[in-house]
Amino acid sequence: MNLKREWDNLFISLFLYIFVSELRNKLLTKKTYKIMTLTIDYIRGSFIKYNVLYFNNLLKMPNFKITHSKRRLGTLSIKRRANFAFGGYIKEHTISVSDYYDRTEKQYDNTIIHEMIHLYISQNDIIDNGSHGRRFKAECARINKYGWELSRCTDTSGWKLSEYAQKKQNIKKAKASYNVIIYKESGNSQFIFRVSKPNVKMYMDYLRNSCNFECKHFITNDSNFESLPNCTKRIRGRRIYYNDTNNIYSKYMI
Ligand SMILES: [Zn+2]
């Protein structure tokens, strides 16, 4: 039995040695990165790889999740569950990575390692002065020596939306319908704004009956109207000129 275990250990060590040196070579030689489709397997694979390379394989495997968040490229969520057997609590960690933008492997890995630093801090109960505090920054600096660009946040300006996000946006645009109201004040100035569908009647009644203003309502999916103020609590119309109003009426009203 012991002999078998020895063999097993030897085999595992050998395997890890080959695995790590292969990865080192790959990381050192790989210079071009292609846009890729994010999968849970990919996140897990990166986690295993960088756990060995940068964390002495000491991080415990968290859960992984893919989100479609625009603002948060990655997050580490920590759930605390009571530990009935030993008292205190158990932390359950989840690393989420967003596929909102088209990203290269390197850009994804940058996010994954960023979250792994949060994980390292949480799993070791390290006290830091802020969520991206001194300890966090020190870890970034340590790993950035290997060619990463870890920082507190990533500038996404100029990044292309992923196919998923583009599709979602197109569906949103196609489905969009804008309820537009134009009204004429007693001084003959005209204003235009949009409201959500359930509020149309309330606004029309208010303008007609309480203010005695002339008003018209129409529905359109023309995205030109998207930039109009969308009123929820009070009217903030945009001034509109007589000619424009007539053009709009002839184009959008039956
Ligand atoms: Zn962070």
Kindly indicate the confidence band of residue 22, based on its pLDDT and cuts at 50, 70 and 90: confident
- Determine the distance separating the centroid of ligand 1 and the alpha carbon of 191, expressed in angstroms: 45
Give the whole-angstrom CA distance, residue 95 versus residue 97. 7
- Determine the distance separating the centroid of ligand 1 and the alpha carbon of 132, expressed in angstroms: 6
What per-residue confidence (pLDDT) applies to 100?
94
- Determine the distance separating the centroid of ligand 1 and the alpha carbon of 106, expressed in angstroms: 17
- Determine the distance separating the centroid of ligand 1 and the alpha carbon of 154, expressed in angstroms: 10
Q: What single string gives the DSSP state of each residue in 82-119?
A: E-TTTSSEEEEEEEEEE-SB-EEHHHHHHHHHHHHHHH
Residue type at position 183: Y
Nearest to 114 by CA among 160, 49, 47: 47
What per-residue confidence (pLDDT) applies to 1?
56
- Determine the distance separating the centroid of ligand 1 and the alpha carbon of 117, expressed in angstroms: 8
**Cβ(175)–Cβ(196) under 8 Å?**
no
User: In percent, how much of the chain has pLDDT > 70?
Assistant: 95
Residue type at position 178: Y
Residue type at position 70: K
- Determine the distance separating the centroid of ligand 1 and the alpha carbon of 72, expressed in angstroms: 9
Reported as a single tens digit per residue, the pLDDT across 78-135 is 999 888 888 888 999 999 999 999 999 999 999 999 999 999 999 999 999 999 999 9
Domains of the chain in start order, with CATH, are: 33-165 (3.30.2010), 176-252 (no CATH)
- Determine the distance separating the centroid of ligand 1 and the alpha carbon of 119, expressed in angstroms: 10
Where residue 204 falls (left for φ over 0; alpha for ψ -120 to 50; beta otherwise) is alpha
- Determine the distance separating the centroid of ligand 1 and the alpha carbon of 124, expressed in angstroms: 16
- Determine the distance separating the centroid of ligand 1 and the alpha carbon of 82, expressed in angstroms: 26
- Determine the distance separating the centroid of ligand 1 and the alpha carbon of 102, expressed in angstroms: 20
Nearest to 67 by CA among 115, 106, 34: 115
